[in-house]
Amino acid sequence: MTIQLGQIAPDFVQDSTEGRIGFHDWLGGSWGVLFSHPKDFTPVCTTELAEVGRLRPEWRRRNVKVIGLSIDPVEAHRIWEADIEATQGQKVNFPMLADNDRTVSQLYGMIHPQSDPAVTVRSVFVIDPLKKVRLILTYPPSAGRNFAEVLRTIDSLQLTDRRSVATPVNWQPGQPVIVSPNLSNEEAARQFPQGYKTLKPYLRIVDLEEGMADGRPAAA
Protein backbone atom coordinates (compact mmCIF):
# COMPACT_ATOMS: atom_id res chain seq x y z
CA MET A 1 0.00 0.00 0.00
CA THR A 2 1.24 3.48 -0.86
CA ILE A 3 0.47 6.18 1.71
CA GLN A 4 -0.02 9.69 0.35
CA LEU A 5 -0.11 13.09 2.03
CA GLY A 6 -3.60 14.15 3.03
CA GLN A 7 -5.10 10.69 3.23
CA ILE A 8 -6.47 9.25 6.46
CA ALA A 9 -3.78 7.24 8.23
CA PRO A 10 -4.80 3.56 8.17
CA ASP A 11 -6.19 2.34 11.47
CA PHE A 12 -4.97 -0.90 13.03
CA VAL A 13 -4.93 -2.96 16.20
CA GLN A 14 -1.52 -4.32 17.19
CA ASP A 15 0.42 -5.54 20.24
CA SER A 16 2.91 -3.16 21.82
CA THR A 17 5.10 -2.74 24.86
CA GLU A 18 2.15 -0.90 26.46
CA GLY A 19 -0.47 -3.51 25.59
CA ARG A 20 -2.76 -3.92 22.63
CA ILE A 21 -3.24 -0.61 20.80
CA GLY A 22 -6.05 0.52 18.51
CA PHE A 23 -4.21 3.26 16.65
CA HIS A 24 -6.95 5.83 16.05
CA ASP A 25 -8.37 5.41 19.56
CA TRP A 26 -4.87 5.71 21.01
CA LEU A 27 -4.21 8.93 19.08
CA GLY A 28 -7.46 10.52 20.23
CA GLY A 29 -7.28 14.25 19.48
CA SER A 30 -3.47 14.40 19.44
CA TRP A 31 -0.93 14.73 16.69
CA GLY A 32 1.03 11.53 16.14
CA VAL A 33 4.46 10.41 14.99
CA LEU A 34 4.71 6.78 13.86
CA PHE A 35 8.25 5.69 13.06
CA SER A 36 9.61 2.28 12.13
CA HIS A 37 12.82 0.32 12.56
CA PRO A 38 14.05 -2.64 10.50
CA LYS A 39 14.44 -4.89 13.52
CA ASP A 40 15.53 -4.84 17.15
CA PHE A 41 19.15 -4.60 18.28
CA THR A 42 20.25 -2.38 15.39
CA PRO A 43 22.86 0.30 16.20
CA VAL A 44 21.50 3.44 14.54
CA CYS A 45 17.98 2.79 15.80
CA THR A 46 19.29 2.29 19.33
CA THR A 47 20.45 5.92 19.34
CA GLU A 48 17.21 7.11 17.73
CA LEU A 49 14.88 5.53 20.27
CA ALA A 50 16.84 7.16 23.09
CA GLU A 51 16.61 10.57 21.42
CA VAL A 52 12.85 10.26 20.95
CA GLY A 53 12.60 9.49 24.66
CA ARG A 54 14.73 12.53 25.57
CA LEU A 55 12.42 14.74 23.52
CA ARG A 56 9.35 13.79 25.54
CA PRO A 57 8.80 17.36 26.87
CA GLU A 58 8.94 18.70 23.32
CA TRP A 59 6.39 16.16 22.05
CA ARG A 60 4.08 16.98 24.94
CA ARG A 61 4.39 20.73 24.37
CA ARG A 62 3.09 20.21 20.85
CA ASN A 63 0.36 17.70 21.81
CA VAL A 64 2.17 14.90 19.95
CA LYS A 65 2.07 11.20 20.77
CA VAL A 66 4.99 9.12 19.47
CA ILE A 67 4.96 5.42 18.73
CA GLY A 68 7.71 3.20 17.35
CA LEU A 69 7.52 -0.03 15.38
CA SER A 70 9.70 -3.03 14.74
CA ILE A 71 8.88 -6.48 13.38
CA ASP A 72 10.15 -8.23 16.51
CA PRO A 73 7.92 -9.40 19.39
CA VAL A 74 7.28 -7.57 22.65
CA GLU A 75 9.74 -9.75 24.58
CA ALA A 76 12.58 -8.72 22.26
CA HIS A 77 11.53 -5.06 22.51
CA ARG A 78 11.86 -5.19 26.30
CA ILE A 79 15.39 -6.61 26.12
CA TRP A 80 16.33 -3.98 23.55
CA GLU A 81 14.89 -1.21 25.74
CA ALA A 82 17.18 -2.33 28.55
CA ASP A 83 20.14 -2.12 26.17
CA ILE A 84 19.07 1.36 25.08
CA GLU A 85 18.90 2.62 28.65
CA ALA A 86 22.26 1.02 29.48
CA THR A 87 24.10 2.46 26.46
CA GLN A 88 22.28 5.78 25.93
CA GLY A 89 21.26 6.75 29.46
CA GLN A 90 17.63 7.20 28.46
CA LYS A 91 14.53 5.06 28.97
CA VAL A 92 12.15 4.32 26.13
CA ASN A 93 9.08 6.14 27.48
CA PHE A 94 6.66 5.55 24.62
CA PRO A 95 5.05 2.42 23.13
CA MET A 96 6.82 0.21 20.61
CA LEU A 97 4.58 -1.80 18.29
CA ALA A 98 5.47 -5.48 17.98
CA ASP A 99 4.61 -5.92 14.31
CA ASN A 100 5.87 -9.47 13.90
CA ASP A 101 2.84 -10.37 11.74
CA ARG A 102 3.59 -7.34 9.49
CA THR A 103 0.04 -5.98 9.84
CA VAL A 104 1.12 -2.35 10.25
CA SER A 105 4.15 -2.66 7.97
CA GLN A 106 1.95 -3.74 5.08
CA LEU A 107 -0.70 -1.08 5.76
CA TYR A 108 1.90 1.70 5.71
CA GLY A 109 4.08 0.38 2.90
CA MET A 110 7.07 -0.15 5.16
CA ILE A 111 8.20 -3.32 3.39
CA HIS A 112 10.29 -2.47 0.31
CA PRO A 113 11.02 -5.80 -1.41
CA GLN A 114 13.92 -4.40 -3.43
CA SER A 115 15.54 -3.24 -0.19
CA ASP A 116 14.83 -6.27 2.02
CA PRO A 117 11.53 -8.19 1.90
CA ALA A 118 12.05 -9.44 5.46
CA VAL A 119 12.28 -6.15 7.35
CA THR A 120 10.71 -2.70 7.48
CA VAL A 121 12.39 0.40 6.13
CA ARG A 122 13.02 3.37 8.45
CA SER A 123 9.92 5.48 7.90
CA VAL A 124 8.41 8.48 9.69
CA PHE A 125 4.74 9.47 9.44
CA VAL A 126 3.36 12.66 11.02
CA ILE A 127 -0.40 12.48 11.53
CA ASP A 128 -2.66 15.35 12.54
CA PRO A 129 -5.64 15.28 14.96
CA LEU A 130 -8.00 14.60 12.04
CA LYS A 131 -5.94 11.44 11.38
CA LYS A 132 -4.58 12.83 8.11
CA VAL A 133 -1.01 12.04 7.07
CA ARG A 134 0.91 15.33 6.87
CA LEU A 135 4.55 14.25 6.50
CA ILE A 136 6.28 11.13 5.17
CA LEU A 137 10.03 10.50 5.43
CA THR A 138 12.07 7.39 4.58
CA TYR A 139 15.69 7.19 5.69
CA PRO A 140 18.54 4.94 4.54
CA PRO A 141 19.84 2.40 7.06
CA SER A 142 23.13 4.21 7.67
CA ALA A 143 21.79 7.73 8.39
CA GLY A 144 20.30 8.48 11.79
CA ARG A 145 17.05 10.42 11.66
CA ASN A 146 16.98 14.11 12.57
CA PHE A 147 14.11 14.40 15.03
CA ALA A 148 14.79 18.12 15.43
CA GLU A 149 13.64 18.40 11.82
CA VAL A 150 10.50 16.39 12.61
CA LEU A 151 9.74 18.82 15.44
CA ARG A 152 10.46 21.80 13.18
CA THR A 153 8.04 20.47 10.57
CA ILE A 154 5.35 19.91 13.19
CA ASP A 155 5.85 23.51 14.36
CA SER A 156 5.37 24.63 10.76
CA LEU A 157 2.27 22.48 10.25
CA GLN A 158 0.67 23.64 13.48
CA LEU A 159 1.39 27.28 12.68
CA THR A 160 0.18 27.12 9.10
CA ASP A 161 -2.97 25.30 10.18
CA ARG A 162 -3.76 28.26 12.44
CA ARG A 163 -2.67 31.15 10.25
CA SER A 164 -2.81 31.91 6.50
CA VAL A 165 0.94 31.54 6.07
CA ALA A 166 3.62 29.20 4.81
CA THR A 167 7.13 28.80 6.19
CA PRO A 168 10.24 29.47 4.06
CA VAL A 169 13.43 27.48 3.68
CA ASN A 170 15.19 26.64 6.95
CA TRP A 171 12.45 28.40 8.93
CA GLN A 172 12.57 28.26 12.72
CA PRO A 173 9.80 29.33 15.12
CA GLY A 174 9.81 33.09 15.62
CA GLN A 175 11.26 33.88 12.20
CA PRO A 176 9.36 35.68 9.40
CA VAL A 177 6.89 33.66 7.37
CA ILE A 178 5.29 33.85 3.93
CA VAL A 179 1.79 35.25 3.44
CA SER A 180 -0.40 32.63 1.78
CA PRO A 181 -0.74 33.25 -1.97
CA ASN A 182 -4.44 32.47 -1.53
CA LEU A 183 -4.91 35.78 0.31
CA SER A 184 -5.60 38.97 -1.63
CA ASN A 185 -3.64 42.05 -0.62
CA GLU A 186 -6.77 43.41 1.03
CA GLU A 187 -7.33 40.27 3.08
CA ALA A 188 -3.62 40.08 3.94
CA ALA A 189 -3.80 43.66 5.26
CA ARG A 190 -6.75 42.68 7.46
CA GLN A 191 -5.09 39.55 8.79
CA PHE A 192 -1.68 41.17 9.32
CA PRO A 193 -2.31 44.74 10.51
CA GLN A 194 1.34 45.00 11.51
CA GLY A 195 2.11 45.09 7.78
CA TYR A 196 3.98 42.82 5.42
CA LYS A 197 6.72 43.21 2.83
CA THR A 198 6.08 42.43 -0.86
CA LEU A 199 9.19 41.09 -2.60
CA LYS A 200 7.19 39.89 -5.60
CA PRO A 201 3.42 39.71 -6.06
CA TYR A 202 3.66 36.00 -5.19
CA LEU A 203 6.19 36.42 -2.36
CA ARG A 204 5.04 38.47 0.64
CA ILE A 205 6.88 38.26 3.97
CA VAL A 206 5.42 39.00 7.40
CA ASP A 207 6.62 39.01 11.00
CA LEU A 208 3.83 37.60 13.13
CA GLU A 209 2.81 39.54 16.20
CA GLU A 210 4.53 38.88 19.51
CA GLY A 211 3.20 35.83 21.32
CA MET A 212 2.13 34.00 18.18
CA ALA A 213 5.49 33.53 16.52
CA ASP A 214 5.34 29.77 16.84
CA GLY A 215 1.59 29.45 16.35
CA ARG A 216 0.81 29.16 20.06
CA PRO A 217 -0.42 31.95 22.35
CA ALA A 218 2.11 33.44 24.72
CA ALA A 219 2.06 32.15 28.28
CA ALA A 220 -0.02 34.21 30.70
Task: Name 194's Cβ contacts closer than 8 Å, sequence gap at least 6.
Answer: 206, 207, 209
Compute the C-alpha angle 149/18/96, nearest 5°.
40
| Region of residue 28 (left: phi > 0; alpha: psi -120 to 50; beta: else) | left
What are the angstrom distances between the C-alpha of 76 and each of 79, 86, 156, 198?
5, 16, 36, 57
Give the active site residues: 45
Of 87, 106, 85, 88, the residue nearest 97 (C-alpha)? 106
- Roughly what angle, to the nearest 10 degrees, separates helices 43-54 and 74-88? 80
- Rounded CA gap, 187 and 136, in Å? 32
Rounded to 10°, the helix 43-54/147-162 angle is 40
**What amino acid occupies position 174?**
G
